[in-house]
Amino acid sequence: MKKICIFLVSFFLLGCSKVFAECDYAEQARLNNLAGLVTSEYQTYEQTKEYYDEGFGETVTLSYWYGRINIYNITSDLYVEVEDLGTFHSNEDNVITIDTGLTDEIREYSIDILAVEPACDKDPIRTLHVTIPRLNPYSSYPQCLEHPDYYYCNKFVFLDEITESEFLAGINAYAKREDGINNNDKNFFDKILDFFKNYYVSIIIIIVVIIIFIVGFKIWKQKGEDKMELRSKKKDVKEE
């Protein structure tokens, strides 16, 4: 019995030594290097769904936008735990793809990279952070088509939600500033061209009036000269 106990204790100690030996400094360094190669990115994608609208008696197509996290270079030695989403292992291409749902709000995720080997799976080797933007309902407004560079005109934003009145006030102020900058940058000829574009109807009317006046004046003047010439000829005839 004593020999059996000694054998079991020896076997247990040897087994433990083997397990802990698998995560020595060299193994830790190797795992750290692998985790250092892991990258992540967010992705947004669109899906359309059709349903029959009984009120209009026709099929309606609706568009929905979803978020996704892509994690690259996850080897078979590693796996990830994503806050609020679960645990994930890579596929044969060393990629993990995680759908995060509708982009109706900004979503932030922490991605812990861990070792598959239990002896090295005590703490995350590395942690990544990914933020999924939200779909911006104002990006399709006509004001955004005129001023696409306005920061609240991006299709997806990392900005807080604002009311429609706040958006309109902001983009109108932005438009005035941009118009002022553009006007200052214009040269003399551009300003003349803009003036003509804005008042071309009035300018054409004035030009037509001036032309009529000049033509009328010339006709009047010519008639006066003709009368004077006619009178002069009559006078010469009387004297003869």
Report how far apart, in Å, the C-alpha atoms of 182 and of each of 117, 143, 150 are: 62, 17, 15
pLDDT for res 222: 76
pLDDT for res 192: 75
Pick 75 or 227 by higher pLDDT.
Answer: 75
Amino acid identity for residue 95 in this structure: V
Amino acid identity for residue 31 in this structure: L
Amino acid identity for residue 48 in this structure: T
The average pLDDT across 157-172 equals 95
Mean pLDDT, rounded, of the chain: 84
| CA–CA dist 171, 93 (Å, integer) | 45
The average pLDDT across 118-145 equals 94
pLDDT for res 145: 94
Question: Which range, 44-58, 150-164, 172-186, has the best average confidence (pLDDT)?
Answer: 150-164
Is 60 exceeded by the pLDDT of residue 94?
Answer: yes
pLDDT for res 229: 67
**Of 37, 38, 36, 95, nearest in space to 68 by CA:** 95
Please report the DSSP string for 67-118 in residue order: EEEEEE---TTEEEEETTTEEE---TTSEEEEEEEE-SS-EEEEEEEEESSG
The average pLDDT across 179-206 equals 71
First to last CA, the chain: 172
Q: With pLDDT > 70 as the criterion, what percentage of the chain qualifies?
A: 79
| CA–CA dist 99, 121 (Å, integer) | 25
Is 60 exceeded by the pLDDT of residue 114?
Answer: yes
Q: With pLDDT > 90 as the criterion, what percentage of the chain qualifies?
A: 56
pLDDT for res 216: 79
The average pLDDT across 20-38 equals 88
Which residue ranges make up each domain of the chain?
Answer: 36-135, 145-185
pLDDT for res 45: 97
pLDDT for res 40: 97
The average pLDDT across 200-208 equals 84
Q: 168, exposed or middle or buried, with CB in 10 Å at 0-12, 13-18, 19+? A: middle
The C-alpha angle with vertex 44 and arms to 42 and 49, in degrees rounded to 5, equals: 150
Is 50 exceeded by the pLDDT of residue 7?
Answer: no
Backbone angles phi, psi at 45, to 5 degrees: -145, 155
The average pLDDT across 25-45 equals 96
pTM of the full predicted structure? 0.64
Q: Kindly report the CATH class assigned to 36-135.
A: mainly beta
Pick 179 or 142 by higher pLDDT.
Answer: 142
